[in-house]
């Protein structure tokens, strides 16, 4: 057995019940968790019940042998202090596993041989055919879309739509390692607070203000950083009132070509904040005059809240510092509040143009300080990658923007928003494969379908089934599992 096989056994819940740890404790696996990033534990967010106690959420690390824990240096690495279970293929009696903080955790030995394993939905493509498999994945993807849309619709009952969109985009920028931290930051620092503070400054200045305040609120600004990065610290201190307040330029705000286009497109297609169309400005951005009250309260209490925990052992271009710089630039480009109107206007374009428009609206090229730096203390050599690249922009469109626009249409009784939002989602080109999608493609045997009609809706269907069925062992509720167990005529066995 190798570690790849062990990982698949854990991910597919391929084991013999009941589970008992090496020290004799009964173990129930409520959720196996989500595969981790390249650096850090193998699975994050697993839910375990040990010896009948309360459910515990934490990470899981896997090794072929128990001694792999110390051989890989995990016993000296605080990044592994969140591990709650060590899964191995072979136990080594007498080996004591300790975290860096000195705590002990249980070990589970998976004794079953890989040669005897046959996951119930393995190679589903061969059994039910490509056309039927894509249909089932499309249905699952549509369920995921509606689930996200309804969550946003429910959030709009108590939260302004613009804030709901902001929270969703921030969460998506965190990737799997920092999504919760980005969401916490969005709740800690509402967009209304930022917009009210920034005012109508020039776009170049506004970018620096947004970036400085976001990074400061996140606790990621260096206290004594390089001179060329001091501007971000200055903006954060001004925001906290520790320096003279920022005075906006009296001249009309300069707009980038992209911002100007967003206004003209939104006005031409649908002025969402106008009268008689199911929306009003208070619904989108709140009561006039209340923003200043929110700013004062938020700024007064910002430093009293608990610090946000960040996972910093990620790939350089996924660094939370760099992603927050991208978020600041994105928000600054729509400082006039036209982001919702612009995105809604794209629904009225031809699908191909809409795809391009959505991604361009969210893509952020590296500029200024970030064109020459990965981080505050890391110079960048060579071409600078985007702060928000096209691939991440596509993920945000599919997972956040389109469900949001659907929810916005439902909330305002606007079928001209809900219908195209679903249609564009169903037709959207496939995104880059992540860990979950690669796993599901291998499991279902659909690698060959990558160039034969696989779209984002099918990828989202894989995520929906994996998170809702696979990790919790609910195979009997999975439509693919049911189809494999009771296949009909093969319509297209080659996909």
- Nearest CA to 146 out of 406, 327, 397, 342 is that of 406
d(CA 168, CA 183): 7
pLDDT (tens digit, 0 to 9) for every residue of the chain, 495 residues total? Answer: 578 778 878 887 878 778 889 888 999 999 999 888 667 899 999 999 999 999 999 999 999 888 899 999 999 998 899 999 999 988 887 788 899 999 999 999 886 444 445 566 777 888 888 889 999 999 999 999 999 999 999 999 999 999 999 999 999 999 888 999 999 999 999 998 888 787 655 566 788 889 999 999 999 988 755 556 678 888 888 887 765 434 333 333 333 333 332 333 333 233 344 433 445 545 555 554 444 555 555 555 555 567 888 888 778 788 899 999 999 999 988 876 578 989 999 999 999 999 999 999 999 999 988 998 888 878 888 888 999 999 999 999 999 999 999 999 999 999 999 999 999 999 999 998 888 888 888 778 786 555 568 899 999 999 999 888 887 777 788 899 888 887 665 444 333
**C-alpha angle 442-443-448 in degrees, rounded to nearest 5:** 45
CA within 13 Å, CB half, 465: 29
d(CA 254, CA 139): 45
Q: What are phi and psi of 418, to 5 degrees?
A: -65, -45
d(CA 365, CA 388): 7
CA within 13 Å, CB half, 268: 12
Domain extents in the chain: 3-116, 160-427
Tokens of 211: 């970036």
Q: What letter does residue 495 receive in the DSSP assignment?
A: -
Q: What are phi and psi of 94, to 5 degrees?
A: 90, -10
For the whole prediction, is pTM greater than 0.85? no
């Amino acid at each position: 057995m190798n570690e790849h096989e062990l990982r698949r056994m854990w991910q597919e819940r391929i084991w013999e019940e009941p589970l008992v740890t090496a020290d004799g404790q009964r173990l129930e696996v409520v959720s196996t968790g989500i595969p981790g990033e390249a650096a850090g534990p193998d699975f994050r967010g697993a839910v375990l019940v040990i010896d009948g106690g309360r459910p515990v959420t934490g990470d899981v690390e896997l090794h072929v042998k128990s001694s792999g824990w110390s051989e890989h240096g995990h016993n000296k690495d605080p990044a592994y202090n969140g591990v709650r279970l060590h899964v191995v293929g072979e136990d080594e009696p007498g080996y004591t596993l300790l975290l860096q903080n000195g705590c002990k955790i249980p070990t589970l030995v998976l004794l079953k041989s890989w040669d005897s394993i046959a996951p119930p939905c393995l190679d589903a493509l061969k059994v039910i055919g490509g056309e039927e498999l894509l249909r089932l994945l499309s249905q699952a993807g549509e369920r995921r879309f509606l689930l996200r849309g309804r969550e946003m619709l429910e959030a709009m009952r108590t939260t302004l739509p613009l804030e709901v969109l902001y929270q969703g985009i921030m969460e998506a920028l965190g990737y799997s390692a920092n999504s919760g931290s980005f969401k916490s930051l969005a709740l800690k620092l509402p967009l209304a607070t930022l917009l009210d503070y920034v005012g109508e400054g020039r776009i170049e200045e506004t970018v620096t203000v947004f970036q400085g305040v976001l990074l400061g609120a996140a606790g990621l600004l260096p206290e004594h950083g390089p001179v060329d990065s001091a501007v971000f610290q200055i903006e954060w201190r001004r925001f906290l009132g520790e320096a003279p307040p920022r005075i906006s330029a009296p001249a009309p705000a300069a707009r980038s070509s992209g911002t100007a286009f967003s206004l003209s497109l939104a006005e031409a297609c649908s002025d969402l904040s106008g009268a008689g169309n199911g929306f009003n400005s208070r619904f989108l951005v709140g009561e006039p005059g209340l923003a200043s009250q929110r700013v004062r309260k938020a700024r007064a209490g910002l430093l009293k809240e608990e610090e946000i925990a960040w996972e910093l052992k990620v790939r350089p271009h996924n660094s939370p510092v760099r992603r927050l710089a991208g978020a600041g630039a994105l928000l600054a480009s729509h400082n006039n509040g036209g982001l919702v109107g612009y995105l809604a206007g794209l629904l009225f374009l031809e699908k191909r143009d809409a795809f391009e428009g959505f991604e361009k609206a969210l893509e952020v090229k590296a500029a200024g300080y970030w064109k020459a730096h990965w981080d505050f203390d890391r110079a960048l050599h060579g071409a600078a990658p985007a702060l928000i690249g096209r691939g991440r922009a596509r993920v945000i469109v599919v997972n956040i923007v389109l469900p949001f626009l659907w929810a916005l249409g439902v909330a305002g009784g606007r079928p001209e928003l809900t219908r195209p939002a679903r249609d564009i989602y169903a037709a959207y080109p496939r995104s880059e494969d992540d860990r979950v999608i690669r796993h599901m493609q291998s499991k279902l045997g659909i690698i060959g379908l990558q160039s034969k009609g696989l779209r984002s809706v099918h990828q989202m269907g894989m995520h929906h089934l994996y998170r809702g069925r696979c990790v919790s062992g609910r195979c009997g509720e999975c439509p693919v599992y049911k189809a494999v167990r009771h296949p009909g005529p093969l319509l297209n066995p080659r996909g």
